[in-house]
């Protein structure tokens, strides 16, 4: 049996620590990324550093709120990387859809126009958001208290980046008993008016799905 040194480093590498925040918002069935202009020619993602004694989560929340000037529906750590003598912690957040003309938000597909490497960060953040969507009721925080099922589905489609089957979506929603209809209907220009629903927070169901062997990525 090989020797096993008890690796107990008393002191680690000294670095400066920074936080990058990718803020995503579903908007018109697509994902928008918060990347405001920082000077004449460049956009950048929100960045900051934790203060002494502050947790990473608190710092990221502060940075995110300062950036969008409002509340953030969801914020979670995605990963950390070393760049030279700096450690950069990536957070991803979800925000309610911005106003249509807001120049600080750009379409997810145009993330190339932000600095090099931003594309990768946005991709990681988007993947993380898709996982939350499957595991938490985060979508309901991105909508007003009363919403139509089409709006809810649009949020899902924006974050997942694919269209969903309408009937299946509603069936799954109904069997989960997650929403209750209100007596209101909303007419949105043309077409039949849509009924408004409210989110009903529920105790988690003890669902145990079977094992899945249809993983998506390569065999590493």
Pair of tokens at residue 191: 């077409």
Q: Of residues 20-39, which lie at the interface with its own copies (CB under 8 A)?
A: 36, 38
Contacted entry of DNA, its own copies, none for residue 180, CB cut-off 5 to 8 Å set by kind: none
Q: How far is the CB of 190 from its own copies (least distance, A)?
A: 27
Binding mask 47-86 for its own copies (x = CB under 8 A): xxxxxx-xxx------x--xxxxx------x-xxxx--xx
Q: How far is the CB of 147 from DNA (least distance, A)?
A: 10
Contacted entry of its own copies, DNA, none for residue 218, CB cut-off 5 to 8 Å set by kind: its own copies
Distance CA(25)–CA(44), nearest Å, equals 16
**Residue closer to DNA, measured from CB, 149 or 159:** 149
Q: How far is the CB of 28 from its own copies (least distance, A)?
A: 19
Q: How far is the CB of 196 from DNA (least distance, A)?
A: 8
Q: How far is the CB of 187 from its own copies (least distance, A)?
A: 27
Alpha carbon distance, N-terminus to C-terminus of the chain: 28
Contacted entry of its own copies, DNA, none for residue 194, CB cut-off 5 to 8 Å set by kind: DNA
- Asked if 150 interacts with its own copies (CB under 8 A), we say no
**Per-residue b or e along 105-141, where b marks 16 or more CB atoms closer than 10 Å to that residue's CB:** bbebeebeebeeebbebbeebbebbeebbeeeebbbb
Distance CA(25)–CA(68), nearest Å, equals 11
Residue 107's beta-bridge partner residues?
A: 32
Contacted entry of DNA, its own copies, none for residue 11, CB cut-off 5 to 8 Å set by kind: its own copies
Which stretches of the chain bind DNA, using CB under 7 A? 148-150, 164-168, 170-172, 175, 185, 187-195, 208-210, 212
DSSP 182-220: EEEEE--SSS--EEEEEE---PPP---PPP-----S---
């Amino acid at each position: 049996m090989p020797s096993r040194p008890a690796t107990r480093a008393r002191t680690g590498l000294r670095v400066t620590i920074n936080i990058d925040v990718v803020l995503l918002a579903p908007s018109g069935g697509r994902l928008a990324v918060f990347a405001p202009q920082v000077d004449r020619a460049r956009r950048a993602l929100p960045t900051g550093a934790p203060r002494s004694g502050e947790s990473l989560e608190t710092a990221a929340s502060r940075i995110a709120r300062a950036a969008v000037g409002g509340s953030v529906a969801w914020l979670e750590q995605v990963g950390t990387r070393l760049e030279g003598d700096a450690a950069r912690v990536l957070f991803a957040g979800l925000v309610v859809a911005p106003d249509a003309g807001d120049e600080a938000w750009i379409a997810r597909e145009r993330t190339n126009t932000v600095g090099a490497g931003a594309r990768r960060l946005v991709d990681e953040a988007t993947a993380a958001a898709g996982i939350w969507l499957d595991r938490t009721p985060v979508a309901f925080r991105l909508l007003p208290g009363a919403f139509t099922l089409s709006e809810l589905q649009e949020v899902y489609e924006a974050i997942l980046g694919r269209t969903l089957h309408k009937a299946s979506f509603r069936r799954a929603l109904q069997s989960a008993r997650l929403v209750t209809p209100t007596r209101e209907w909303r007419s949105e220009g043309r077409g039949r008016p849509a009924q408004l629903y409210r989110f009903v927070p529920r105790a988690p169901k003890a669902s145990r799905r079977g094992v899945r062997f249809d993983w998506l990525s390569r065999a590493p």
